């Protein structure tokens, strides 16, 4: 008899959906609540590296996921003018027949994960959240924001950077922090040369080109934005071109095609890390709610997805809830801490214009570490 048979997942983003899938695959009953009344995600794509492809196989969604994604092998790091410094070969961690890495539009990823969640029988309610969590020795009584109630063996807070569940557990002890940088993104048609993830070391920030589909890729560039200024939409194209002003080569050519401010996706980077066990009693945080970091290593969602898979494994491996969550933390804490801290460090080095920083070494180390079993 499992200690946990019925779980509430709060948040229907990447981490919450993967948790719902992982738990349903293990036969655990799942209710999921999502704050947004319309279950959409914002545009642009996401890089998912070999460890994520491996976890998608464990979640049993790999075929549908790969159909919606652009599969690629290598990661290159290039100079500001586009000269290749290194091309790091991909690792096929899901098996030799599957690709090493993928680029996927956030919308396509959401479609695959949300449809699988519903098909596996999780009960999804939109447009609501939790109001209060009241725990006793046997379970958690939940009051939802629409006045309805439920009782669960475990509540999983997968509600992102501004997590309400984190507030219910820890008060205001952990608050998101602006790192000083922002990211700018823009979609382009994909040229044949961008058949892999191409990074470009810039004078002040880093740029990159990520393939998403046969005919689509996106560009990103990081920038230092002291004071986190507000950016009006009609200025975004001009401002993004300015952030790319030092680049030559392909990035320089593409820069001139950034003309539509409404197509620029601008995001200040905010981070939070819960530096103690991510649970109290029968309430656990996963994903960005516990460890939101910057995108410098392209692993934020990767860590949320790994959290979900490990949770499914530990909740069905015997013992009490306390023992299961302790084992979960033992497998997750140091790995996520490394990704969180290394990603923030890479951004800090860009802000400091520290060109002696060994970014290539960091990427190689990260790929080695994330290839290890979770
Ligand atoms: C610019 C940028 C680029 C990135 N690129 C990459 C990348 O290439 N690769 C990668 O692996 N990661 C990347 N990341 C990180 C990645 O986006 C996050 O780590 C990932 O989305 C975390 O998933 P999550 O489910 O924990 O949180 P979220 O995706 O934030 O999902 C949280 C969900 O909870 C819902 N919610 C919020 N509050 C409540 C509430 N009170 N009640 C109920 N529901 C609630 C939200 O509406 C949302 O649906 C990037 C991040 C940024 C900012």
Cβ proximity of 101 and 75 under 8 Å: yes
Residue 364, phi-psi category: left (phi > 0), alpha (psi -120 to 50), beta (remainder): alpha
Give the Å distances, CA to CA, from 250 to 70, 191, 254, 263, 305.
20, 10, 6, 19, 33
pLDDT recorded at residue 355? 85
Residue 373, pLDDT above cutoff 80: yes
Q: 224 CB less than 6 Å from ligand 1? A: no
Residue 294, pLDDT above cutoff 80: yes
Q: 156 CB less than 6 Å from ligand 1? A: no
Distance between CA 56 and CA 334 in Å, rounded? Answer: 22
Q: 90 CB less than 6 Å from ligand 1? A: no
Distance between CA 150 and CA 128 in Å, rounded? Answer: 13
pLDDT tens string 11-50? 999 999 999 999 999 999 999 999 999 988 876 899 999 9
Distance between CA 179 and CA 84 in Å, rounded? Answer: 29
Ligand 1 midpoint to CA 212 (Å): 19
Distance between CA 246 and CA 374 in Å, rounded? Answer: 39
Cβ proximity of 164 and 130 under 8 Å: yes
Ligand 1 pocket test: pick from 301, 340, 367 the residue with the most ligand atoms within 8 Å of its Cβ: 301
Whether the CA torsion 93, 97, 103, 109 is positive or negative: it is negative
Q: Would you place residue 106 in the very low, low, confident or very high pLDDT band (cuts 50, 70, 90)?
A: very high
Q: Would you place residue 203 in the very low, low, confident or very high pLDDT band (cuts 50, 70, 90)?
A: confident
Q: 315 CB less than 6 Å from ligand 1? A: no
Q: Which CATH superfamily is domain 6-176+270-371 in?
A: FAD/NAD(P)-binding domain (3.50.50.60)
Q: 202 CB less than 6 Å from ligand 1? A: no
Distance between CA 26 and CA 322 in Å, rounded? Answer: 19
Distance between CA 314 and CA 327 in Å, rounded? Answer: 7
Other CB atoms within a 10 A radius of the CB of residue 236 amount to 20
Residue nearest to atom 31 of ligand 1 (CA): 13
Residue nearest to atom 2 of ligand 1 (CA): 295
Q: With DSSP H G I counted as helix, E B as strand and the rest as coil, what are the percentages for the chain, rounded to 5?
A: 35, 30, 35
Domain layout of the chain by residue ranges:
6-176+270-371
pLDDT tens string 299-355? 999 999 999 999 999 999 999 999 999 999 999 999 999 999 999 999 999 999 998
């Amino acid at each position: 008899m499992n200690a946990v048979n019925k779980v509430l997942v709060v948040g229907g983003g990447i981490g919450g959906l993967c948790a719902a899938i992982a738990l349903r695959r293990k036969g655990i009953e799942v209710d999921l609540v999502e704050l947004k009344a319309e279950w959409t995600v914002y545009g642009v794509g996401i890089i998912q590296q070999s460890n994520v492809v491996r976890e998608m196989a464990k979640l049993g969604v790999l075929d549908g996921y790969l159909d919606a994604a652009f599969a690629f092998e290598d990661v290159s790091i290039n100079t500001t003018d586009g000269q290749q410094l290194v091309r790091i070969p991909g690792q096929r961690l899901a098996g030799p027949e599957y690709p090493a890495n993928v680029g996927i539009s956030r919308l396509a990823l959401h479609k695959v994960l949300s449809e699988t969640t519903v098909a596996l029988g999780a009960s999804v309610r939109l447009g609501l959240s939790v109001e209060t969590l009241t725990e006793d020795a046997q379970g958690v009584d939940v009051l939802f924001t629409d006045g309805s109630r439920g009782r669960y063996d475990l509540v999983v807070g997968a509600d992102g950077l501004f997590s309400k569940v984190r507030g219910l557990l820890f008060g205001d002890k952990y608050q998101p922090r602006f790192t000083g940088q922002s990211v700018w993104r823009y979609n382009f048609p994909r040229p044949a040369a961008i058949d892999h993830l191409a990074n470009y070391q810039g004078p002040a920030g880093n740029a990159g080109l990520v393939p998403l589909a046969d005919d689509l890729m996106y560009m990103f560039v990081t920038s230092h934005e002291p004071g986190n200024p507000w950016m009006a939409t009609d200025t975004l194209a001009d401002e993004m071109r300015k952030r790319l002003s030092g680049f030559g080569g392909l990035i320089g050519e593409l820069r001139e095609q950034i003309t539509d401010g409404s197509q620029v996706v601008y995001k200040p980077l905010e981070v939070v890390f819960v530096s103690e066990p991510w649970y109290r009693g029968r309430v656990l945080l996963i994903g960005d709610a516990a460890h939101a970091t910057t995108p410098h290593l392209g692993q934020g969602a990767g860590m949320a997805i790994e959290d979900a898979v490990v949770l499914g494994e530990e909740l069905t491996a015997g013992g009490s809830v306390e023992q299961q969550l302790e084992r979960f933390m033992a497998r997750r804490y140091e790995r996520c801490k490394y990704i969180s801290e290394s990603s923030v460090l890479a951004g800090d080095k860009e802000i400091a214009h520290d060109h002696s920083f060994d970014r290539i070494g960091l990427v190689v180390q990260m790929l080695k570490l994330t290839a290890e079993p979770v």
